[in-house]
Every structure is written in structure tokens, then in C-alpha cells.
Amino acid sequence: MWGAMRRRTAWGMYGLGLATLLAVFLVGTGVGGALAPGAGPRPVRSVRSVPVPVKAVALTFDDGPSPEWTPRILNVLQQYGARATFFLVGLELSRYPQIAKQEADAGMELGNHGFRHALLVGMDPTAIEADVRPVEQEITAITGQRPTLYRLPRGRGDATALRTLADMGYTVVYWSVDTHDYQDRRTAQGIATQVEREVKPGSIVILHDGGGNQLHTVEALRLFLPVLKAEGYQFVTVSQLLEMAKGG
């Protein structure tokens, strides 16, 4: 999500570099490159929460990496033995790849949030792939593993977007607990209270580590992580949650 207008101004600074990158990318690839020749369409996969038999929850963070807020969030997560999934915006990833490496080295999962944080509604498959592939390639270079999870900017996509992402091998990850922590009016206590009230086994919680001042998110983690941990919850990545549902 990309709530307040203050969070949009930074993107306009990268127009020329982005145009160049996308032009180079479009010359070298086509839609459906992830599929073997002759393979049929992949099933469209999306998830909002996951039915699991244990008290496990997936915390997710959007719009980073941020040199100011991501390391603070990582520090709190590590204090409580928590893992999480970070959905990275390509423009920020290109600026701060070392922060993404810190996430990976800390045992966090890296997912794709598009290069420009662009709304995919109304985009054609070629434009969608051009926005998704550069982030995928950078994450693969950092982690050695191709990302398979994608979060739609602002949680919105149409049939073309979902079909294209599926053909690229992605599972679209929504959420079941929306903290709205991108809004300035939210307080750390308000976020923590909401998470403690709404979380259930298999919940996917959306938070943010980029896009603006996320101090209230950092402080909210300090409040709700020990409470939920005392209730028996474990904090896992989205992929781990999916594996738990399979009995893995």
C-alpha cells in the first residue's frame, strides 16, 4: 500500500533511469518467459490467510528496503526470534541492496512488490512483466533463490495481472490483518492492540518498513511481539506458513 501523498514524491525522481531500464528489459524478454515451451497456463494462486494447525502468523512488510527503518525492524524481530516476509520495491532495492542482503542474512523472506510500486490494473502483460522481472532478478542475485511471492501494490489487480503473475510463477499474497500503519494518525499502541485482537492461527499481517516514517511500526512490534509470543504464537515467513498448511 502507498497511503499518503508524502510517500509518492520520491518515485518521480527516477523517471529517466526507469525508462532506460524498462527499455533494455523489453528488448531482452517477453511475457511468459518463466514457462517452458509448450507448457500450459499455470493456475492463478493467491492467499489471504492460511489454515494451519498451530499458532503461527506471518508478518509482512511492504515498500522497503529503507536504510532508516528496515534495520530497526530487523533488530526487533531478531530479539523475539521472529521471521517475516519483506515485499521489496525495485526502486528502493536498487538504492539499498545492502539492506536487502541484511534481511536475507537475518533469515527473512524477500518477496516482489514491483519496480515502481505501480498499480497493475489496466496494464498489459508486457508492461506487467517489465515491472516485475527486474526486482525478481535483483532478489535472485542477492539470495540465490528466485522469489515466488508477489504483493500487489495497494492490493489491487485485475484478471490480466493475476493471469500474468501466475504465468510468471508467482503466488499473490494479500493479508487478513490490515494495520494501516502507513497512516500518520495510527499510533504504536493502536497498531499493537489491533494485531493482538485480530490475529488468529494462519493470519497474514501487513505492515510497512518503507514509504515514510515508520517509527510507530517499530514501537508496535515491541508491544505485540512479546504478547503474542507469550500466547504461544510463532512468527514465520509466508512460505513457511504455506508449508505448514501442507503438513510440511
Catalytic amino acids? Answer: 62, 208
Contact (CB, 8 A) for 231 and 197: no
Element (H, E) at 180: none
Helix H segments across the chain? Answer: 15-28, 70-79, 90-95, 97-105, 125-143, 159-167, 188-198, 215-230, 238-245
User: What distance in Å separates the CA atoms of residue 159 and residue 121, rounded to the nearest whole number?
Assistant: 9
Neighbours of 112 (CB within 10 A): 28
* Residue labelled with grid coordinates 536487502: 100
How is residue 86 written as a grid cell? 519483506
* Residue labelled with grid coordinates 533511469: 17
**Greatest CA separation for the chain:** 53
User: What distance in Å separates the CA atoms of residue 102 and residue 97, rounded to the nearest whole number?
Assistant: 9
Contact (CB, 8 A) for 242 and 47: yes
User: What distance in Å separates the CA atoms of residue 226 and residue 213, rounded to the nearest whole number?
Assistant: 23
Nearest to 132 by CA among 33, 232, 238: 33
Contact (CB, 8 A) for 193 and 60: no
The amino acid at residue 244 is M
